[in-house]
Amino acid sequence: MFDVWRMISLVSGLLLMAAPSISQAQSPQRVMSLNMCTDQLILNLLPASRITSVTFLSHSSPNAALSALAAHVGINYGTAEEVLSQRPDLIVSGDTSTPTTRAILGHAGYELHEVPSADNFEEIREITRKLGQVLGEEIRAEEMIVRMEATLKELVETMPQKKIRVVAWDGGGFVPGRGLLFNEILSVAGGINIAAVDGNDYLVDFDLEELLQARPDLIAYASATLKAPALRTQALQHRIVRRFYEHRLITYADNLYVCGLPQSAEAAKDLRAAMAMVMESLEVLQ
């Protein structure tokens, strides 16, 4: 009898050991991402060998780290032809696909995993975990979340006394208000989004008069704004901005604010450092 139990436990043990390799064989090997945010997620969760392609936006991103990672994998422009020719066993995209696309992909036998946009760190946790599960990389996903939590904890513990008043203004007429990731990151970094008042949800239109009246300490603008000429670059040349905010401008890597990623916590850390630097230099000027 003792031998039978031993036999059973031995066999179960063997089976359990085999299980990971079985589940590894079941986890997707050819993953295609059709969305810039999911690009970044899978590039961080999977080795290049398991990614067929990510979008052209990541390949040509102004963010050097991202484009360097993307360089190791294929490229796609989100077209059906590419899906057909690349034959992924899993497609990852945002949640804005049309029902038609979903239906077609379903009928054609493609697996589609949609990642909803994450507007706060709780949601980032969820989507990362979920994606980790789907990709068979729960461990790695968990590692990323742990790092994120650690950074967040550090930031909360070293939160400065004085909150810095900020607005993300680029002259395009719309600024992020409540309910967006920018707000979340800014709060964690120790800032207050002056546009995030009641009634100002998501993107709010904001003009210079309101800016002047609100008197933020700093104006933040996306670093991508600098890279290619645009109307926004002109807006930063406005007399008022130059006169009152010339030394009060900070940039931020907007890909981490548009997409909810575990690295967004790092972005909060960088933002805090940038804000501190500018505020210090202002004191020196005075």
Partner 1 sequence: MRSSFPMIVLLLALLSILFFLSLLAGRVWIPPSEVFSGLFSGGTELSEIIIFELRLPRAVLAVVIGASLGMSGAVLQGLTRNPLAEPFLLGVSAGASLGAVIAIYFGLAAMFAAATPFLGIVGAFSATAITFALGRGGGTLALILAGAAVSGLGGALIALSLNLAPNANAAYEIMNWLMGSLSDRSWDHVFLVLPFVLIGGAILISTGRALDALSLGETQAQSLGVDLLHLRLLVLFGTAIAVGSATSVAGVIGFIGLVAPHLIRPWTDYQPSHVIIPAALAGAVLLLGADIATRIIHIGPELKLGVFTSLIGTPFFFWHVVKLRKTAP
Check residue 172 for interaction with partner 1 (CB under 8 A). Answer: yes
Least Cα distance to 221 among 120, 230, 212, 69 occurs for: 230
- Please say whether the beta carbons of 78 and 34 come within 8 A: yes
Nearest approach, Cβ of residue 31 and partner 1 (Å) = 24
Nearest approach, Cβ of residue 34 and partner 1 (Å) = 16
Nearer of residues 121 and 169 to partner 1, judged by Cβ: 169
Residues constituting the chain? 286
- Please say whether the beta carbons of 135 and 42 come within 8 A: yes
Alpha helices in 77-207 (DSSP H): 80-86, 99-107, 121-135, 138-157, 181-189
Binding positions for partner 1, 103-162, rule CB under 8 A: none
Nearer of residues 84 and 240 to partner 1, judged by Cβ: 240
- Element spanning 255, H or E: helix 255-258
- Please say whether the beta carbons of 131 and 115 come within 8 A: yes
User: CB under 8 A: which stretch of 74-82, 139-147, 169-177, 269-277 binds partner 1?
Assistant: 169-177
CA distance 134 to 149: 22
Nearer of residues 11 and 197 to partner 1, judged by Cβ: 197
Nearest approach, Cβ of residue 228 and partner 1 (Å) = 4
Nearest approach, Cβ of residue 197 and partner 1 (Å) = 14
Binding positions for partner 1, 185-244, rule CB under 8 A: 205, 207-210, 212-213, 224, 227-235, 237-240, 243
Binding positions for partner 1, 48-107, rule CB under 8 A: 57
Nearer of residues 153 and 227 to partner 1, judged by Cβ: 227
> For residue 8, what are the contacts with CB-CB under 8 A and spacing of at least 6?
none
Nearer of residues 233 and 251 to partner 1, judged by Cβ: 233
SS3 191: strand
Nearest approach, Cβ of residue 10 and partner 1 (Å) = 59
CA distance 252 to 164: 15
Q: Interface with partner 1 by CB under 8 A: which residues?
A: 57, 171-173, 205, 207-210, 212-213, 224, 227-235, 237-240, 243
